[in-house]
Amino acid sequence: MARSDVHPVHRFERWQVWPGSFANPPVDGNFPAPETGRFAITPKTPVASLGSCFAREIKRRLIQRGYNYITEETSHPASIHASAAWERVYSTHCMRQIFEYTFEQWQPDLRWWTAPQSKQIQDPFRRVILYDDLKKAEDDFARHRRHSRRALVTADVLILTLGLTEIWQDTIDGSVICLPAGPYVKEGGDMSRYRFRVSRYTENLKNLERIHRIMAVHNPNCKIIITVSPVNLWATFRQDTDVISASCNSKATLRAVADEFTGRHENVYYFPAFEMATIYQPLSGLTYFSEGRENFHINKPTVKFIMQHFFHFFAARESDAAG
């Protein structure tokens, strides 16, 4: 128990007070958190994940530990980051579109890009996935939809990692592309129909609610774990603020959305990966940033720290047995 030194005196659990404040215990390598909001994941539990760069780290560690991580389209290079070839998914808008095209008739006004010079077919909605011709693109996407559906209906646990709030939106039908990149953009493809903007709290919450409704129909018993990626923005498209402020805004918005979303649903759980990296590690006198050219990413010791706590939160006995 921790206590306040103000009047009236309140008694708090250790996880309710700031580590090291007044006479309260300092950080000790064990992230303080309540026991509520947890459930057991066994090595046999089918687990799927998708989201930003941090989703790839979750996948890697679950597979290393021998957990039943769902892997579809294993020969597809876009599947390295998640349970199917969704590639990296940075925004809740793109995340929502995955669930819509998997289970519904999602048909954007402009489905494919054709690079002006190389004539490669590019998928605007998955990060730089390319094809030699339109038939190969359509055939591969049809297969992808089947694999995507199998992954999402098979999962007993689905981990969603939220990344950023900056989006590029089609001004005609409202669909959101992954990002302006690849041969279509480099070769001078027409981007005039797309508008950059910063998405806000309400629409991001609506996207997660839409995902929840779809899953409630197609896999109602699935538990959903929400995280906010601790990976910062490498660059911002915003002209009105700096990249550090833009990154902070993205994470703050998505953290607030995750809190509201978790509180609304009994089958949704929040895992504080973002807080472990960006606050707890510095309190421990450690940096969470990687070194070198990609110093906006988190370093390996921080990933290890986060995943050790993931297993402690959701699979304590297996984690203890693994040392």
Distance, CA of 211 to CA of 309 (rounded, Å): 26
Distance, CA of 165 to CA of 291 (rounded, Å): 25
The burial of 275, by beta-carbon neighbours within 10 Å (0-12 exposed, 13-18 middle, 19 or more buried), is given as: middle
**Helix 243-264 and helix 201-218: axis angle, to 10°?**
40
Q: Where are the domains of the chain?
A: 40-322
The CATH number given to 40-322 is: 3.40.50
Residue 54 is predicted with a pLDDT of 79
pLDDT in tens, 245-261: 999 999 999 999 999 99
Query: Which residues on neighbouring strands pair with residue 198, listed in sequence order?
Result: 166
pTM listed for this prediction: 0.93
Give the DSSP H or E segment for 306: helix 300-314
Mean pLDDT of the chain: 93
Q: What is the mean pLDDT of residues 39-50?
A: 95
pLDDT in tens, 210-244: 999 999 999 999 999 999 999 999 999 999 999 99
Contacts of 301 (CB under 8 A, 6+ apart): 286
Task: Kindly indicate the confidence band of residue 28, based on its pLDDT and cuts at 50, 70 and 90.
Answer: very high
113: Cα within 13 Å, side-chain hemisphere: 31
Distance, CA of 276 to CA of 269 (rounded, Å): 16
**Contact present, 17 and 5 (Cβ < 8 Å):** no
Distance, CA of 50 to CA of 148 (rounded, Å): 11
